[in-house]
Amino acid sequence: MSRPVSLLFGVHAHQPVGNFPEVLADAHLRCYQPFLQVLYRYPDFHFAVHFSGWLLDYLIAHYPDDMALLREMVERGQVELFGAGDTEPVLAVIPYHDRIGQIETFSKKLEKRMGQRPKGAWLTERVWEATVVPALVDCGIRYVIVDDYHFLCAGKTAAQLKGFYSTEEDTRTLDIFPISEALRYKLPFSPASEAVAYIESLADNGTTDTHHAAVYFDDIEKFGIWPETYQWVYEKGWLEQFIQGVLASSKICPMHYRDYHAAEKTKGIVYLPTTSYIEMNEWTLPVESANAYADLIQQAKSAGWFEHKKAFLRGGIWKNFFSRYPESNWMHKRMLGLSARFAALAQKQRTNEMQQKLYQSQANDAYWHGLFGGLYLPHLRRAIYNNIVALEALLDARAPRSEFFTQDTDLDGVDEAYIQNGVIQVILKLDSNACIFELDVYPLKHNFGDTLRCQAEHYYHKIQPGGHSLPGHDNQNQGIASAHDRINCKQEINAADIQADDHPQGMFVDRLDGVFIGYQHESSATDTISFQAENAASHINKNFALADNRLQVTYHFSGKERRGVFSTEINLAMPSCDGMGGRYINQGKIPGGFGQLLTLTKMTEITLDDDTLGGHIVLKTSSPVKLFAQPHFSVSQSEAGFEKIMQAVTLLLEWPIKYRELVVTLEFNVNTKA
C-alpha cells in the first residue's frame, strides 16, 4: 500500500520598496485578500507563507482586518510563517552584519506582530550561495527552500528529491528543501484536478522509511495578479477546487515544513553550487551570451534531451547583473560604502532611522531585471536612492566627510571625483566624457543622475513592428498560460526605440559640430573640478563648481579658431517622468510637460517643476542658447508585456563658440507651500 505524500505548500508575497500605492491596493484586492479569505475557510489545509517585511508593515497599516485574519490562522495552527531579510535583500550581496540585522529584524517583527518566530526562511529569488549559511543559522533559521534545479546542478537526480538535505558552512549546519519545478509550473496554471492527480502520483509505495514530500513554494502573485489568474483562481474557483481536492484525497497530507522537518531525517549531505532558478540563468547574461544560451536550450529541447540534462546547461549567476548593468553596480557599491560607514559608527551614534534607510537601500528589486521591470523602473531605483541620499546625510551629520575626494567606487579601474557642500553632491567619473553621473540634492533626498543607458536586451528579437501577442487559454479544461509564455506589446515599438545608446546618459555630455569631445582631467580642489580638451583649432576648458544650492558649469573657449556649434546634453531624472506632475516653465508660461518635445531658440532661463519631487530646478545660461528638450525612453519586458519607460528628461543646449565663455547654472529648490 502507498503512504500519503506530505504536501508542503508555501507562498511568497512581496512588493518592492517604493512601489505605487495603487499597485499595492490592486495586489491586495486581487490576490492577498481573496487568497487569505479562501484559505481561512479550510483550517485543515496547512500551509506556509512569507510576506516580506516592508509589505507586511504596509498591509498591517492599511488592511488590519485581513492581517488579523492571518494572525488568527497562525494562532490556530494553520499557517507557518517563513523568515527572510526584512526588506527582501539578496542575502548573498550584502555584508554579514547586515544579513544578521535584516534576518533578525524580520524574525522579531513576525514574533511581535504575528505571534510566531520562524524556523524556515525564504531566499530572495532563490539565490543560493553557501556564504549565507552562517548568518541564517546564527539567527535561528533551521531550513530554507530552493529549487530542485539547484540539487540537479549538484548531481542529484529527480528520484532522490523526496525530502530535505543538509549542508554546512563555517561549522554551521542548515537543511534545504527542494521546490518542485513541475509543481511551480502546474500551480495554478493547470486544472485543479490535474494538479491534485499529479501530487497523488508522488505518494511513495511504502518501501522506504521516509515519507515523500511534494514541495511547493512560489510567488503568491501567481494566484490573482498575473494575467488572467484572478478570473481563473477565484471567479472560476481554481483555488477552492484545488484545496477541496487535496483535503478529499487519501493520498495527500497537507503539512507544515516545521512538522515534516521535525518528524523526518535528512537525506544526507549536499553542497549546492551558486545559482538561482533556471530562468534567472538566462536573464543575468549579457545579450550575446544570453542569445547563445537560449539557442543551446532550444537545440536541447528540439533534440529531446533538455529535461534530462538541463542541469549541465548552466548560464550566469545573479551577481552578473552588477557587471551587466553599470547602473546596478553603482547603486550596489554606493550601498556597500554606506553600510561600511554605518558599521564603523560607535553604537551610541547609530539610530533606528539610519538602519531602516540602509536596509531599504538593500531591497533587491531595483538591482536586476528579468521577467519583471526591476532596474528599468525609475520609481524603484528612486526608492533606493532616496534612502541612500537620506542615509548619507545622516551619516555626514555624525561623521563628516571631506568636501572633495577621489576613489574607484564601482571597481571599474577609473576613479570617480566626489565634490559636496552638504546641500549638493556631484560625482564625476574621471574619464574622457567629463560628465556628471550622480547629482544628489540632500534637502530633496534625490539623485538627479539616476537614469538608465539603453543597451541591447536578449528578448528584443521577440518584438515585431507594431507589436504582437500570444494570448492565454480561456478554456477551464486547458488551463491558462503562464506569464513566462506571453508576448505582448503595450505600445507600438519600433527599431529606433530599442537601439543602444552610444554615450552615457549623464549630465553635460559635450559635442562640437555633433562629434563627442574627449577631455582630460586637469585639476581638482575642494570646490571645483576642471577638464580640458584641445585640438589644432581650439582649446576648451570645462569647470564644475558648487555654491550653496547651485551647480555651475563654465566653458571657456580659446585657440586660433573659434567656430562651429557647441552642444551639451543634460539628462535629468525627474520623478514625475511623463506624468501630469512635471512641467517646464518659461517666462511665466508652461510650454509643455516633461513627456513632450520642446524647442526654444534664445533661452537664458527655464524652470523644471515636479510635484512628485516636491521641488524645482532653475536652469540659467550666461548667454542665449538654443534648447531642445525631449523625454528619454527605454524598452523593457514586464509580466504584462513590452513597454516604453521614460527614464529622464534630455536637455540639449546649443550655441556657437563665438562666445569666449558660457556659464550654465542649475539651481535646486524645495517647493514651499503658499
Mean pLDDT is highest, among 54-68, 461-475, 494-508, 537-551, for 54-68
What SS3 class is residue 646?
Answer: strand
To 10 degrees, the CA torsion angle through 449, 451, 455, 461? 180
Q: Confidence class of residue 469 from pLDDT cuts 50, 70 and 90?
A: very low
Q: Is the pLDDT of residue 472 over 70?
A: no
Name every residue whose Cβ is closer than 8 Å to that of residue 587 and which is 6 or more positions away in sequence: none
By the 8 A CB rule, do 242 and 124 touch?
A: no
**pTM metric for this prediction:** 0.93
What SS3 class is residue 598?
Answer: strand
Q: Confidence class of residue 497 from pLDDT cuts 50, 70 and 90?
A: confident
For 247, the grid coordinates are 483535503
**Rounded Cα distance, 143 and 154, in Å:** 18
Residue identified by cell 516580506 is 52
**Rounded Cα distance, 248 and 197, in Å:** 12
Per residue in 581-618, pLDDT tens?
A: 999 999 999 999 999 999 999 999 999 999 999 999 99
Catalytic residue among 66, 86, 88, 125: 125
Distance set, CA 617 to CA 196, 572, 591, 595, 670 (Å): 59, 10, 16, 17, 9
Check residue 207 and give its pLDDT.
56
Catalytic residue among 104, 219, 611, 639: 219
Q: Confidence class of residue 36 from pLDDT cuts 50, 70 and 90?
A: very high
Per residue in 303-329, pLDDT tens?
A: 999 988 989 988 999 999 999 999 999
Q: Is the pLDDT of residue 366 over 60?
A: yes
Give the strand pairing for 252-254 and 5-13: parallel
Check residue 473 and give its pLDDT.
45
Higher-confidence position of 207 and 14: 14
By the 8 A CB rule, do 242 and 250 touch?
A: no
Other beta carbons within 10 Å of 589: 7
Give strand pairing partners of 13. 51
138 is catalytic: no
- Assigned fold of 496-670: Beta-galactosidase; Chain A, domain 5 (2.70.98)
HEC assignment per residue over 428-477: EECCCCCCEEEEEEHHHCEECCCCCCCCCCHHHHHCCCCCCCCCCCCCCC
Domain ranges of the chain: 5-276, 496-670
**Rounded Cα distance, 9 and 192, in Å:** 15
**Rounded Cα distance, 582 and 97, in Å:** 40
To 10 degrees, the CA torsion angle through 122, 127, 131, 134? 0
Check residue 479 and give its pLDDT.
64
Distance set, CA 601 to CA 167, 584, 595, 605, 655 (Å): 68, 15, 19, 12, 10
| Alpha carbon 591 to its chain's center | 35
Q: Confidence class of residue 640 from pLDDT cuts 50, 70 and 90?
A: low
| Dmax (CA) of the chain | 97
Give the strand pairing for 528-534 and 520-524: antiparallel
Residue identified by cell 537525506 is 267
Per residue in 427-467, pLDDT tens?
A: 999 999 999 999 999 999 999 999 999 998 988 888 755 44
Check residue 465 and give its pLDDT.
55
What SS3 class is residue 617?
Answer: strand
Check residue 109 and give its pLDDT.
98
Q: Amino acid identity of 630?
A: Q
By the 8 A CB rule, do 628 and 581 touch?
A: no
Comparing 16-30, 290-304, 477-491, which segment has the lowest mean pLDDT? 477-491
Nearest to 248 by CA among 186, 303, 199: 199
Other beta carbons within 10 Å of 672: 7
Terminal alpha carbon distance of the chain: 79
Residues composing the chain = 674
Give strand pairing partners of 48. 10, 80
240 is catalytic: no
Check residue 308 and give its pLDDT.
87
**Rounded Cα distance, 134 and 118, in Å:** 16
Q: Is the pLDDT of residue 470 over 80?
A: no
Q: What stretches of 172-319 show up as alpha helix (H) in DSSP?
A: 181-186, 192-200, 229-230, 238-248, 257-263, 278-283, 287-303, 306-309
Name every residue whose Cβ is closer than 8 Å to that of residue 307 and which is 6 or more positions away in sequence: none
HSE, side-chain direction, 13 A CA sphere, residue 599:
1
| Alpha carbon 417 to its chain's center | 27
Check residue 523 and give its pLDDT.
82
The average confidence (pLDDT) of the chain is 92
191 preceded by a cis bond (ω within 30 of 0): no
Q: What percent of the chain has pLDDT over 90?
A: 81
Residue 588 gets the label, from left (phi > 0), alpha (psi -120 to 50) or beta, of left
Check residue 535 and give its pLDDT.
73
Give the strand pairing for 615-638 and 661-670: antiparallel
Query: Please, what is the Cα angle at 442 between 441 and 447, to 5 degrees?
Result: 45
Class assignment of domain 5-276?
Answer: alpha beta
**Rounded Cα distance, 20 and 36, in Å:** 22
In the chain, % helix, strand, coil (3-state, to 5) comes to 35, 30, 35
| Alpha carbon 664 to its chain's center | 34
**Rounded Cα distance, 193 and 396, in Å:** 60
For 379, the grid coordinates are 520609481
